[in-house]
Amino acid sequence: MNTITQSTAPSPTAKRRLPSELNILLVLIGISLTFEILGWIFQGQSFLGNTQRLSIMILQVSVIGIIAIGVTQVIISGGIDLSSGSIVGATAMIAMSLAQVGTFERAVYPHLTDLPVVVPIGVGLCVGLICGAINGWFIAYTKIPPFIATLGMMVTARGFAKWYTKGQPISFPTDSFAALGKGLAPVFIFLLVAAIMHVVLRYTRYGKFTYAIGANPQAARVSGINVERHVVKIYAVAGLLSALAGIVVAARGLTAQAGMGTMYELDAIAMSVIGGVSLSGGRGSVLGTMIGMIIFGVIISGFTFLRLDAYYQEMLKGGIIVAAVVADVYRQRKRVKKS
């Protein structure tokens, strides 16, 4: 028996690999220094030295970062979510319509003027949760590919957002609702979400099941995991976080439009993939996604800093996404060869 037992302990000469998050952090430092050098060459000023520019960048990416955290756990499970941006638009419209000044007065309670802030927030989060759960149910129980199921939700949710107010924007929220988007509130909300999801994915059964399903769904099922039920939970959480992002972006802009969140899903996927989340499932972390989010923000802010035209920025953004996917495929092939 001892002759066929193989030790799993690493040999003394085995090469230690750096954590993937550290590699991504080194990429962030390299990109930041590149823009700093280009800034002095072409603009005669510092890119990293402008704290106002950096704070605006963090605010801009924080909202999409909330979505990216939800998308991260979806991709880790071996799925994909294309409906995030449309859920942002739908929930923003619903939440803002309930957060308007004088909502009660226009309804059936003339002696009251405003709904408590928990009402628009709660309803908006419930809508996102339901949309995500519907995605998960179709994927888990009808075996529709995640791409198709979430694509259908993307179109449906966007159409609902346009129908809900006949395409008209909604403005004038209450002060308590607007506070969710004031100052650094979106950043704090993102950090809270990231901290919670980091703990959940790393230290709880929910996280272990998510990684197991992404690595090998059949092995996960054999080990006793209810794969279908857990997939529904994963997409429900993603929908919930998309709804939270919709509420924050509406509060920050003090208005809601049906087109809100357009292309947010692709930006969120890009942040996750740049952050080292494998599209084949089973690998990735919230910390990596956070670094990927900052890389994404630095690149976009750097393009603007260098006064690169918007259409060039879009083309380069697409190239970055493709490059991140190619790098992920290369990493997977390298792991297969080593194994």
Q: How far is CA 39 from CA 51, 171, 295, 311, 330, in A?
A: 15, 38, 17, 20, 32
At residue 157, φ and ψ (nearest 5 deg) are -65, -40
- By the 8 A CB rule, do 240 and 200 touch? no
Q: Per-residue pLDDT tens for 143-177?
A: 999 999 999 999 999 999 999 988 899 999 999 99
> Is the pTM higher than 0.95?
no
Q: Per-residue pLDDT tens for 204-253?
A: 999 999 999 999 999 999 999 999 999 999 999 999 999 999 999 999 99
* Residue whose C-alpha is closest to residue 265's, from 71, 91, 84: 84
What's the CATH class of domain 51-330? Answer: mainly alpha
Domain boundaries, the chain: 51-330
Number of Cβ atoms within 10 Å of the Cβ of 251: 29
Number of Cβ atoms within 10 Å of the Cβ of 262: 14
